[in-house]
Amino acid sequence: MKITIVGPGAMGCLLACFLSKSKEEIWLLDKNPERAQKIKEQGLKIEGISGSWQVKVNIAAQAKEIAQPQDLVIIAVKSYDTKNAVKDIKSLLSETSLVLSLQNGLGNIEIISEVVGQERVLGGITNQGATLLGPGWVRHAGKAETVIGRLDGRLPVELRFIRELFNQCGLETRLSKDIKSLLWSKLIINVGINALTALTHLHNGKLIEFAGTRKILEEAVNEAVRVAKKKRIKLIYDDPLSKVEAVCEATAANVSSMLQDVLRRKPTEIDFINGAIVRQAQALNLPTPVNSVLTNLVKTIEASYNLRVNL
């Protein structure tokens, strides 16, 4: 099986490290030629709860360097880069190629489907915790399952093969016939954690140790749950708030992806997470004051990176 992972961020590098344990042909696609060359020379390095190890990986800065059609392309870029990333990999797709989104937020599957067709697209969530420490260097901060599926609920043999491959490589994976519910359930976890960590600069686990952040987390999650219920989306957790708190505990040492973006003064995925809840709520005439404030504050941070006060 030929697999290309698009995006050398924390999750992309983590996936490439684990999948490189297999006998399959694994490629990492990075739009930055200088970074790609550095990773090619140094390899990928992982540390943390899965141990410390390094691995060499095939890496390219352009899809044409990979040349051969791929059986599976995994999209692991930031949500705001999804459309460009999918356009870039069209040359890697044959009639039987599949494209798997393992990204945060809402809207990625729809964006990918517009470019390659819904029949090729797989949706997925992964609760692995990873922090990017440098080019190709990742701290594995939390182990959790990955779940994949199709929007139409079918589970063809190709999905079962992907599941077995992931499991063999140490990535606990299962299939789901209701990927939409999973995406919304993961969204609600991100709604509770990401923006708050970006604003407070706290690790995930610290959010539930302070009364103020715990209260805001609770209100943001409850707003998102009300939106999901209004849309008649069945969440996979009986108690979503307890699940968010459990994730905070399980990934206590993790630096969320949004906090990583803010610390590096990069764009965030706020529009695809808390911002997505606000937009969905507006269409349903539901109030979401806490998610609106979180969205506006993170967007203000993004817009003012060059104006920060330093004492």
Distance CA 44, CA 84 (A): 25
Among the listed residues 38, 186, 215, 299, the single catalytic one is: 186
Q: What are phi and psi of 264, to 5 degrees?
A: -95, 5
Closest CA to 198 of 129, 125, 270: 270
SS3 category, 123: strand
Burial of 151 (0-12, 13-18, 19+ CB in 10 A): middle
Max alpha carbon distance in the chain (Å)? Answer: 59
Q: In this structure, what token pair is assigned to residue 96?
A: 């039987």
Residue 179 to residue 235: CA distance in whole angstroms: 10
Asked about 186 being catalytic, the answer comes back as: yes
**Strands 2-6 and 25-29, how do they pair?**
parallel
The crossing angle, in degrees rounded to 10, of helices 289-303 and 211-230 is: 110
In whole angstroms, what is the distance from residue 220 CA to residue 191 CA?
7
Q: What is the DSSP string of 146-169?
A: EEEE-TT----HHHHHHHHHHHHT
Is residue 28 classed as helix, strand or coil in its secondary structure? strand
Token digits of residue 153: 């609920």
| Residue positions annotated with a catalytic role | 186
